Amino acid sequence: AKKLGEAFTKKTGKNVKVEAEACAAGIYKASQGDVDIGVSTHEVVLSYLPEGTVNTVIAKAPTVVLVHRNNPVNDLKLQQLKDILAGKIKNWKEVGGNDLEIKNVLLQPCTITIFSKSVAPFGKDIKRLTPEKPMNPVAGTNKLVEENEGAMGLQIYGYESADVKVLTVDGYLPDEKTFPAKYKFYQDYNVITKTNMNGDTKAFVDFALSPEGQEIVAALKHIRVNK
């Protein structure tokens, strides 16, 4: 959203302020008129859109698996990933890595939802890493994975830091060639507005769906909905 906002401002002269919030916060603020646009990738929340709001999908947002940059594992088979999240595999040595306990970083409801539906329900006894104090889930996921060699985190693709490693699943990373047959972990990137949105808001949504906006989407490692 930030990159789209910057490009929209450059093109139109209209200023766009972007704030990072939890998955549902933007939807609520948009419905209350506190902001013009709310963004969320949480499909459960979108089942209960407040009255007077409308959702527009501007991209598909892939979720990827992050590990510490020194972790020798580069790929997980889908079954291995299922077994890790189910708590059946608890040590990296079981999938070709070092003798370290796997510590799961599960801070983002949006990414947890898509993996629990597409991969497996999370085991109750899996080891979890949590920050000592509340953090932005995206930044917190990166930080915990950066600092813990046994960590495995789930992150929206393109939001990972330069100091972590993204694993392939069955040899694939998400892109427009692997979507959706070979890499299945995607969520809709939703833009929520008032049904009777003002002219500037509509112009931004139209820009996000335009060829120029969709090129920005692709550069952010998301999947375009308009090509």
Residue 175 lies in a domain: no
Residue 177 lies in a domain: no
As beta bridge partners, residue 153 has 66, 105
Whole-number pLDDT of residue 178: 95
Q: Does 93 share its domain with 141?
A: yes
Residue 180 lies in a domain: no
Residue 176 lies in a domain: no
Q: Does 155 share its domain with 215?
A: no
Angle (nearest 5°) at CA 116 between 159 and 180: 65
As beta bridge partners, residue 31 has none
**Residue 133 sits in which domain range?**
64-169
Q: Does 21 share its domain with 10?
A: yes
Q: Does 122 share its domain with 156?
A: yes
Q: Does 13 share its domain with 41?
A: yes
Residue 174 lies in a domain: no
Whole-number pLDDT of residue 45: 64
Residues shown for the chain:
227
Whole-number pLDDT of residue 123: 73
Whole-number pLDDT of residue 125: 79
Q: Does 79 share its domain with 164?
A: yes
Collapsed DSSP state (helix, strand, coil) of residue 23: coil
pLDDT digits (tens, 9 = 90+) for 115-133: 766 666 677 778 999 998 8
Whole-number pLDDT of residue 172: 97
Q: Does 78 share its domain with 144?
A: yes
Q: Does 54 share its domain with 132?
A: no
Q: Does 124 share its domain with 205?
A: no
Q: What CATH number is attached to the domain comprising 139?
A: 3.40.190.10
Q: Does 7 share its domain with 72?
A: no
Whole-number pLDDT of residue 148: 97
Tokens 């906006």 sit at which residue?
Answer: 213
d(CA 153, CA 205): 31
Contact of 227 with 85, CB cutoff 8 Å: no
Number of domains in the chain: 2
The closest of 63, 14, 19 to 39, measured between CA atoms, is 19
Residue 117 lies in a domain: yes
pTM, two decimals, is 0.86
Tokens 């060639």 sit at which residue?
Answer: 177
Q: Does 72 share its domain with 145?
A: yes
Residue 52 lies in a domain: yes
Q: Does 26 share its domain with 48?
A: yes
Whole-number pLDDT of residue 135: 86
Residue 181 lies in a domain: no
| Through-space distance between the first and last CA atoms of the chain, rounded to whole angstroms | 19
Whole-number pLDDT of residue 140: 94
Report, as ranges of residue numbers, the positions in the chain whose pLDDT lies below 70.
18-24, 44-46, 114, 116-121
Whole-number pLDDT of residue 209: 97
